[in-house]
């Protein structure tokens, strides 16, 4: 996309301000900005503008199984779950895009040490929890690990260094969480820098679309996976 096309493209969408600093940019910065403009997902902005704040919606608590119900029906639930595992109908998604900032930790949150007598990362504990289940079923299911663009390489290296915490390497699949343009309540997209669109992760609820966009739907289809559980 060149400048003239971008100008028309943005004007049609009420986002002309994204080119306000174009004349101040270097050639490489202009190229980056035009590429980012071409890749903007305007459907997200459209959904924001379509929201009717005046429309009142009555919110009710969703029905849920109580802890007592789970305790009482545990054998039944375990039987159904193990049968699904044995029939290869289940996969898991690990939401690993968070940083350890609130823990005073400058790396991926999953790398944080929670051990008391030995080093035990959050990642290792989560994999241990998963292996408690796979040990019962005798089957390893696909594990999809969602990272972000900042900690992706760091997370993959950490898994490699720790031999995937005993989980089969060929059953672990990493993918980067999608991002969407950040905007104000009027739908105007922000600039992070004069040549860079402000982008934000699409939230925990965006893991499925991110997984599909990474091409892992082929694994779900090939293995006949019907349910995925996130942690």
> Over the stretch 40-67, which tens digit does the pLDDT of each residue have?
888 877 776 666 555 667 788 888 889 9
Cα–Cα distance measured from residue 156 to residue 186, given in angstroms and rounded to the nearest whole number: 38
Residue 41, helix vs strand vs coil? coil
104 φ, ψ to 5°?
70, 30
From CA 80, how far away is CA 168, in angstroms rounded?
24
The dihedrals phi and psi of 120, each to the nearest 5 degrees, come to -140, 110
Taking only the tens place, the pLDDT of each residue in 166-206 is 999 999 999 999 888 888 888 899 999 999 999 888 877 88
**Residue in the structure block whose two tokens are 């289809």:** 221
Q: Which of 164, 87, 89 is nearest to 131 (CA)?
A: 164
Question: Mean pLDDT over all residues of the chain?
Answer: 89
* 90-137 pLDDT, tens digit each: 999 999 888 888 888 888 899 999 999 999 999 999 999 999 999 988
Q: What is the DSSP string of 42-105?
A: HHHHHHHHT--TT------PPP---HHHHHHTHHHHHHHHHHHHHTT-EEEEEE---BSGGGT-
Q: What tokens appear for 8 in the block?
A: 């028309």
pLDDT of residue 176: 93
Give pLDDT, residue 153: 94
Calpha distance 161→189 (Å, rounded) = 40
């Amino acid at each position: 996309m060149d400048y003239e096309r971008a100008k028309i493209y943005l004007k049609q969408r009420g986002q002309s301000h994204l080119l306000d600093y174009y004349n101040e940019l270097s050639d490489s910065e202009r190229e980056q900005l035009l590429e980012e403009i071409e890749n903007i997902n305007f459907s997200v902005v459209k959904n924001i503008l379509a929201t009717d704040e005046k429309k009142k919606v009555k919110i009710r608590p969703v029905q849920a199984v109580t802890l007592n119900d789970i305790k009482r029906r545990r054998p039944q639930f375990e039987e159904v779950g193990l049968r699904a595992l044995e029939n290869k109908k289940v996969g898991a998604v690990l939401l690993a895009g968070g940083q350890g900032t609130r823990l005073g930790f400058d790396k991926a949150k999953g790398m944080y040490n929670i051990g008391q007598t030995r080093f035990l990362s959050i990642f290792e504990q989560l994999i241990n929890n998963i292996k408690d289940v796979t040990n019962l079923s005798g089957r390893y299911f696909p594990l999809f690990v969602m990272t972000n663009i900042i900690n992706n390489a760091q997370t993959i290296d950490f898994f490699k260094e720790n031999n995937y915490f005993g989980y089969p390497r060929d059953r672990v699949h990493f993918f980067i969480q999608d991002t969407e343009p950040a905007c104000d309540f009027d739908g105007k997209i922000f600039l992070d820098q004069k040549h860079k669109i402000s982008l934000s992760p699409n939230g925990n609820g965006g893991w499925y679309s991110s997984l599909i966009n990474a091409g892992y739907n082929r694994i779900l289809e090939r293995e006949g996976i019907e349910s995925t559980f996130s942690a």
